[in-house]
Structure 1
């Protein structure tokens, strides 16, 4: 029975991992293209944070599919076979996870300041500051992950686990419940709601209509991204706290198999978090759908037709059309 459950967990991880990888790579690439190629989003700090998160999530997808393939080949993720891979795998996973969580937080915080009614607060945040904040944030999470990876070790019955009791207490009592759980969820929900409140008052201020619509669009997208991210992060966080406090030995075949299946399900939710932002924006924002359509159809498809000599060789007012389209999407 336990063998069947382990087989089910492996198959579930493989299929869900491949689906998440496919949709994640496509979605994150399209996110990067939309927020870098459309003039409307250039030099916009919120768009910059979304680009950074999408690049981070794009790389994470390849790490995840690598672990999935190793699990398919060896029957597990191979962290119990190599101490170097045991440490390095968790360093990578923790770095990219924390970078993603807190970049979403920075997006929400920036949107709050961007929509604030006080001019001084709006002017305080610049694209240059955003770049510095991202660099500092990534450096902090890399340093934290290296320190955390140092305390991982391979134990015969438990596999790749934290061996230091002090760090184990820190991970179970602070890292998962606070640093990777409650804190980012609270920050992103709080500042997203505050930004949404600001946007409701934005009509009263003398702000150009293009900027007003952009703020409304980004705020709605960030708010829904925050809510859905919280739903995906929380279950895995609870699972990790439990499994660190009550580790299950591989000798307990049935309990170990059930834990592996639960882990596979919760990891698939985390993978959705890294894959879903583009699709969340696409479903919830009609303006974003028009922007994606404009980018793919008006820009890239037209270029592709030109390169393949499918154009009708007519002279079109391309600049005027692009200008009109940009104005329509603004």
Structure 2
């Protein structure tokens, strides 16, 4: 199966990868091994990074890298089948086979692991994937760490065999056996110097955020699979977007996205989630004030105002200049 790279943007932006392995690692979860189609070295990545896969038909979907970051010739991702999703996971489960070629954008990291002597990792379901290389990194530098891993049942929880090698550092909490994780037991008392990383469904992320409310600022870092509920845009009138590199201007009307508007004016910009959760469409801001509506940037990053996600974010004023 060959990828038509032009379906997702210029070929220079897209790697062509070959599927080297496909295996089920839990009920409904398949892991893909990927290598460069020409056998070349792959771009480096850091724990927390994801890979935007360009699937047959031009679908672009982000998946967390969960393999060995020191292996320069292989990537690994794990994909949960979501029959109620938008079709990307079903295509991977049903149509992708060993030997197929698919596209990928270079790895991006919106969920970086900051240096610390102590970590608490909290995972829900497929949210374990970005945490695996973080655990590997914590082990490498000799940091103290613990993982609490929840899921519906053991059979649906990926990588339990791999995690069992870490002994009592890992607490596995299948809901059908133990109920949900007792977050108060882990987060009720502030522990100095601990960095908390959480990935999983929205309910878990919201519960962890509430449980960490009394911890120092910036202790908690999360990655979301789905967008938070958003209030109405700050501006309900049309505004102008100027693409600085081409000099082209386009009007963005209420109900339209900045992404759709700049694409209609000729910008070749990859996107994936359309919800401000994956970071694929990240765009530098040259001038103007952004109405940030994503689930990625921290308050500090939003205050800087130097980037935005045009699939959801908008302008607070009459004019926004983007590096396009």
TM-score by length of 1: 0.22
TM-score by length of 2: 0.23
Give the number of the structure with larger relative contact order, counting CA–CA contacts within 8 Å between residues 6 or more apart.
1
Higher strand share: 2
Which has the higher Rg, Structure 1 or Structure 2?
1
